[in-house]
Amino acid sequence: MTGETSGGGRWRWLILGVMLAAEIMDLLDSTIVNVAGPDLERSLGASSLGLQWVIGGYALTLGAGLILGGRLGDRFGRRAMFLLGLGAFTAASLLCAAAPTTEILIAVRLVQGFAGALLLPQGLGLLRENFSGPELAKVFGVFGPVLGLGGVLGPLIGGGLIEADLFGLGWRAVFLVNVPIGLAALIIAWRILPRRSGDKSVGIDGPGALLIVAASALLVLPLNLGQEEGWPAWTWVSIAAGLAGFVLFAFQQRRAHGRGKTPLVMPSIFSRRAYTLGLAGIALFFSALIGTQLVLTLFLQIGHGFSAGEAGLGNLPVALGTMVGGALSGAYLAERLGRGVLQIGGILQVGGSVLLWAELQGTGGFSIWTIVPGIAMAGLGSGLVIAALFSIILAAVRDEEIGSASGVLTAVQSIAGSIGVAVLGSTFFDGIKRGSPESAFQQALCIQAGLLVVFLGLTFLFPRKGRADEFATTADEADDGAVSVGAGQAGGESGPQSAQGAAGRE
């Protein structure tokens, strides 16, 4: 990287604040909308399918664009792409708030997700350019608690804003909350971010980027529509084509590399069995986790008439359980137990699902306190897994592959969240048409438990221990900073993703 015209210097801690603001905006948009379902239905006439796309569409384009966003930062400069992504994200938030129809809201949410894909990958590289040594360790020490708190507060803030109905805005306020944060961050970032030019020798693999987007869409679209349309033949063809698209992407990356072109990711990562199995594990785990968290909110609001604020509070036991589990795993258990902590966490999650299933069998009137033990136990298990998962999977790759490998993990995590919303959300909506809210929730829990059991089986094939420190390498060493979001956003016990996953994207 060349052409530095100004440095972070005395502004570097303010740069950290700007990076945190960007991450929190993403967290809020990932969690805050979950409690807006009934309000969207009343205001825009949103169907169950529309609600799933409002929530899951954002995660879909975010995940599909993350790797490309990292490459664009390498070529055109992280400052430029950060400013572009932040400006687009803020503008999309405003357009979401102003959307007159469900269809327009979904379209703008898709744009907002891609803006996030441009914005988020630049954060780690910018921090590495301005911090080093012990200070860099302190920076990532700050990320964890702040992002963890942001994830916990998302549903609470969303519920509070909707219930307060400020100026009659209703659900629109959950998008408008990003606008002042984004504008302030944009003004500060424009002033203080160092001007460093990108590396024009870095190529942009357009075919690879299109393959990821197409494969993601082919996979998620039928999962959203299948339940409602009775699973016609085209849905199965589309699912098969989507899965084939991801396999084709791996071969295309290898071919591009062999021809001397710049692939989006280092193709050698796909030759490592433990890593590719880890990708499958990530997909199973996060689709189960994110989908079930949405179903919990739907169960409380649609099934039992909870207000948005009450539903936000209803999510608190699982969020706090996740934070406790993440703290235990990150500070003590992951280092000592390695992949064993994934198995303990997975068993606790399955146990929590079984307990919750039994709690929903009660014949008396429903009370939130009835299900607190089950959801708190599941949250504790998810926290144990999240804090160690990325670090353990990344132990399967070489140091020079970290940037690519962790970027792909992050993208898979986000796309899996969209799949979980589609599958478990559709299951719940279909179940509630046929029976009680409790039976609909139980059907979703059965799918969640099945996904987690397969995930548990895969963990025995993961590396035994996690990486000692993904942040030991410099940005240039980690695949020239390509997809540098990986080690930061998807980093395991020592990275901000441990907190982001622990309470965010739920």
With a cut of 70, say whether residue 502 has pLDDT above it: no
- The whole-angstrom separation of Cα 495 and Cα 209 is 26
With a cut of 80, say whether residue 248 has pLDDT above it: yes
Beta carbons within 8 Å of 212's beta carbon, 6+ residues apart: 64, 67, 68, 245, 246, 249, 264, 411
**Which of the pair, 38 or 481, is modelled with greater confidence?**
38
pLDDT over 70, % of the chain: 86
What's the pTM value of the predicted model, to 2 decimals?
0.83
Confidence at residue 236, expressed as pLDDT on a 0 to 100 scale: 92
Number of H helices, E strands in the chain: 22, 0
Query: For 76-90, 187-201, 275-289, 411-425, which range has the lowest pLDDT when averaged over its residues?
Result: 187-201
Confidence at residue 192, expressed as pLDDT on a 0 to 100 scale: 84
SS3 for 3?
Answer: coil
AA letter at 262? T
Main-chain phi, psi angles of 321, to 5 degrees: -60, -40
Q: Which of 417, 179, 168, 157 is nearest to 308 (CA)?
A: 157
Confidence at residue 144, expressed as pLDDT on a 0 to 100 scale: 59
Residue 198's CB is within 10 A of a number of other CB atoms, namely: 20
Query: For 10-19, 130-139, 216-225, 297-306, which range has the lowest pLDDT when averaged over its residues?
Result: 130-139
Beta carbons within 8 Å of 374's beta carbon, 6+ residues apart: 352, 353, 355, 356, 357, 358, 359
Provide mean pLDDT across the span 485-499: 34
Tokens of 51: 């609600």
- For residue 11, give the DSSP letter: G
Alpha helices by DSSP H, listed for 121-205, are 122-130, 133-164, 173-176, 178-192
With a cut of 50, say whether residue 108 has pLDDT above it: yes
- For residue 41, give the DSSP letter: H
- The whole-angstrom separation of Cα 151 and Cα 435 is 32
- The whole-angstrom separation of Cα 154 and Cα 82 is 23
Q: Which of 50, 16, 125, 71 is nearest to 471 (CA)?
A: 125
With a cut of 50, say whether residue 233 has pLDDT above it: yes
Could you read off the pLDDT of 368-417 as tens digits, one per residue? 899 999 999 999 999 899 888 888 998 888 877 877 887 888 889 889 99
Query: For 4-18, 217-231, 252-266, which range has the lowest pLDDT when averaged over its residues?
Result: 4-18
AA letter at 156? L
Query: For 147-161, 196-210, 249-263, 282-296, which range has the lowest pLDDT when averaged over its residues?
Result: 147-161
Alpha helices by DSSP H, listed for 177-332, are 178-192, 206-229, 233-258, 273-298, 304, 308-314, 316-328
- The whole-angstrom separation of Cα 58 and Cα 483 is 19
Helix %, strand %, coil % for the chain, to 5? 80, 0, 20
Residue ranges per structural domain of the chain? 9-195+202-503
**Which of the pair, 305 or 155, is modelled with greater confidence?**
305
Tokens of 288: 């189960």
Provide mean pLDDT across the span 466-493: 40
Burial 342-376 (b: 16+ CB within 10 A, else e): bbbbbebbbbbbbbbbebbeeeeebebeebbebbb
Could you read off the pLDDT of 255-307 as tens digits, one per residue? 888 888 888 888 888 888 999 999 999 999 999 999 998 899 999 988 888 88
Beta carbons within 8 Å of 255's beta carbon, 6+ residues apart: none
Residue 165's CB is within 10 A of a number of other CB atoms, namely: 13
Q: Kindly indicate whether the domain formed by 9-195+202-503 is annotated with CATH number 1.20.1250.20.
A: yes
Confidence at residue 400, expressed as pLDDT on a 0 to 100 scale: 79
